[in-house]
Chain A
Amino acid sequence: MLNTILNSSTGTALVLLVLLAAGKAVHAQGPGRPSGPPPTAEAAAPIDLTGYWESVVTEDWRMRMVTPRPGDYQNIPLRPAGLQVMDAWDPAKDTAAGLQCKSFGAPIIMNVPEHLHITWQDGQTLKLQTDAGEQTRLFHFVPSTAAAHGPRTWQGYSQAAWQIPRRGRGGESKTAWGELKVTTSDLQAGYLRKNGVPYSEQAQMLEYYDLVRLQEGNGQWVMMVDTEIVTDPVYLTRTLLTTAQFQKQPSGTGWEPSACSAMW
């Protein structure tokens, strides 16, 4: 009987339709789409960013590892108004005014050589702490209104979202993948560079956090790469694109909190 059906064109068509319908049914269910409330951001995380991380500084070393020379704004597309602020940089004055953290705000903090400790504060908030300058960034996955963002701070208000592609086509994507997208606003004005290159409180930042893995000897290097896109209509002529690399650490060894310093 089955042979008879398969040997007829109508039968073959029916079989194709049955297979297609079955495929659609499987596709419609999809992984991770059970009924009920949506999972928390923590439960839905496609990649695990938690743990301890250490900066890997291989580029722009003399801009990052030491306080650059006064007036050095290489890489930064500054407007004339920004040059004026930079030329007036006075770390002693900042210290006296209690503004030592101006060079530890969100637009620069990921480029400061440091250790990070990333944890879930709750199911919808990822917390990123730095040992350099003892800063805390909170990435909020639940949308909120501008009124709820509170006063401007060095780290501002960060809205986060996972970017999760579906499993790719055969041969194109065999591994679960995703990245974290973060937009930050409500910043207190500070410095893009230790030597007083400024950003204004109108600055905003878009970031993507990605993980890459590299086989090294018998082990694996896990690296987190933060791509930062800073806009500032007051002091920048164009968007500032930078990246920062972090190596995963097995523990908190090396975590050395240090207070903000205007000079180092």
Chain B
Amino acid sequence: MITFATALVLTSVALPVRAQGVIQGEGGAVAGPPQPAGLSGSWVSPLTEAALERNAGPIIGDWTGMPINEAARARAQSYAPGSLAEPENVCHFYTQWHFADTVYPLGIVAVTGGPTNEVLAWKILPKEDIPPMTIWMDGNGPPPPSKIADHHRGAYTVGHWEGNMLVAYTRDMKAGMARRNGAFVSDEATMTSFFILHGSSRMTAVYTLQDPLYLTQPYVYSRAYERVVGGPNSFGYPPCIPTFNGVSEGQVIVHLPGQNKDLDYMMRHFHIPEYASRGGADTMYPAFRDKLKADYLKLYHTFSKKCTFLCSPGGSDGE
């Protein structure tokens, strides 16, 4: 006779087999859909893409490929790096968007709990001053929008799985930089991130930023990551804290309109005309090359045959 207990044992043996599933493809079957162990770990994106942007930081006055509007451009052109010493600006780099252009690894951990120890949230931890991104998976959705609620640097993120892709939606962000040379996003910006697992050792993340105040279209970064075997997934870095950096109260460090002498920096060093470096959605698309072609190639034969400024792989060699 089969007892109730025996039936439960059989059931419990059968269920995990069903839950694992397989991915069909080259190299045989691999585990999936993603279990907590698939996403959690330490992930690094080598500096073979956007090295300068992520390492030393972008070129002054380079807003190429950014769908910024006139308001964003005016603010960016007034930006002076020294303004970061003002207490209210100290943390402007460290919004949740900075996950997209940080040079450091991401540590990803699952927060589990409840009676069945399910994943309640994923935490993405950078090795820098960005507050962790906590992606809530409990299906409750974000709290209702509020015009008066304070936003904090960790913002609010909810997520769900689509196959091997974790989709995360971030709201209630602090205002800060979308590119670390003065291109701002407002606190009305939202971010949608896609973390796509390719087997167990590779991941692609697609980060998209939408901002009704400063962007005319979504701004998109994509990044390829490799798993760091044995690497840490918890870095224990404290988030940025506004501090006094020597700028006295009442002092505002800014370029007044028409007085920023660095707006031709891209032309001086890279022969990129200002109508391109000032950015805008049209600079993101192939047709913009037609505008540039004659102006750029006219000068190309005058370029130095030996590259001496920002030429090597890591993007950190100096002037």
A71 and B49 in contact, given A13-B6, A113-B289, A264-B293 (Cβ under 8 angstroms): no
Within 8 A of B (CB), among A133-188: 159, 161-169, 171-179, 181, 183
Contact residue among A132, A168, A244 (Cβ-Cβ distance under 8 Å from B21):
A168
Contact assessment for A164 and B23 in the assembled complex, using a CB-CB cutoff below 8 Å: yes
Contact assessment for B194 and A212 in the assembled complex, using a CB-CB cutoff below 8 Å: yes
CA distance A114 to B286 in the complex (A): 6
Q: Chain A interface: which size bin?
A: 35 or more
Contact assessment for A245 and B222 in the assembled complex, using a CB-CB cutoff below 8 Å: yes
- Per-residue CB contact flags for chain B residues 283-296 toward chain A (1 = under 8 Å, else 0) read 11111110011001
Distance in Å: Cβ of B123 to nearest Cβ of chain A: 17
B52 at the interface (CB under 8 A from A): yes
B198 at the interface (CB under 8 A from A): yes
Contact assessment for B51 and A214 in the assembled complex, using a CB-CB cutoff below 8 Å: no
Residues of A within 8 A of B192 (CB): 214
Within 8 A of B (CB), among A184-239: 208, 210, 212, 214, 216, 221, 223, 225, 227-229, 238-239
Residues of B within 8 A of A238 (CB): 46, 48
Contact residue among A55, A132, A173, A183 (Cβ-Cβ distance under 8 Å from B285):
A55
B307 at the interface (CB under 8 A from A): yes
Q: Is the interface of B mostly helix, strand, loop or mixed?
A: mixed
Q: What number of B residues sit within 8 Å (CB to CB) of A? A: 87
CA distance A183 to B222 in the complex (A): 20
Contact assessment for A67 and B51 in the assembled complex, using a CB-CB cutoff below 8 Å: no
Within 8 A of B (CB), among A55-107: 55-62, 65-67, 69-78
CA distance A129 to B285 in the complex (A): 18
- Per-residue CB contact flags for chain B residues 34-47 toward chain A (1 = under 8 Å, else 0) read 10000000000111
Contact assessment for B48 and A76 in the assembled complex, using a CB-CB cutoff below 8 Å: yes
A173 and B161 in contact, given A165-B32, A225-B204 (Cβ under 8 angstroms): yes
Contact assessment for B49 and A60 in the assembled complex, using a CB-CB cutoff below 8 Å: yes
Contact assessment for B160 and A10 in the assembled complex, using a CB-CB cutoff below 8 Å: no
Q: Which of B23, B34, B48, B62 has the most CB of A within 10 A?
A: B48
Closest chain A residue, CB of each to CB of B18: A27
CA distance A221 to B206 in the complex (A): 13
B75 at the interface (CB under 8 A from A): no
A241 at the interface (CB under 8 A from B): yes
Q: Which of A172, A221, A263 has the most CB of B within 10 A?
A: A172
- Per-residue CB contact flags for chain B residues 1-36 toward chain A (1 = under 8 Å, else 0) read 111101110110010001101111110000011100
CA distance A239 to B218 in the complex (A): 30
CA distance A27 to B19 in the complex (A): 11
Q: Which of B2, B25, B66, B296 has the most CB of A within 10 A?
A: B25
Contact assessment for A216 and B25 in the assembled complex, using a CB-CB cutoff below 8 Å: no
Q: Residues of A with Cβ closer than 8 Å to B?
A: 9-10, 12-14, 16-17, 20, 23-24, 27, 54-62, 65-67, 69-78, 113-115, 132, 159, 161-169, 171-179, 181, 183, 208, 210, 212, 214, 216, 221, 223, 225, 227-229, 238-245, 254, 263-264
Q: A9-B4, A59-B221, A228-B224 are in contact. List 13 more A-B contacts (CB 8 A).
A: A58-B221, A62-B270, A65-B276, A66-B296, A69-B270, A70-B303, A113-B286, A165-B32, A210-B165, A227-B222, A229-B202, A241-B49, A243-B204
Sample (10) of A-B pairs whose CB atoms are under 8 Å apart = A14-B2, A17-B10, A56-B285, A57-B65, A59-B221, A69-B270, A70-B306, A165-B22, A212-B165, A243-B49
Per CB-CB distance, the 4 closest pairs between chain A and chain B, nearest first, are: A177-B163, A71-B307, A168-B33, A113-B286
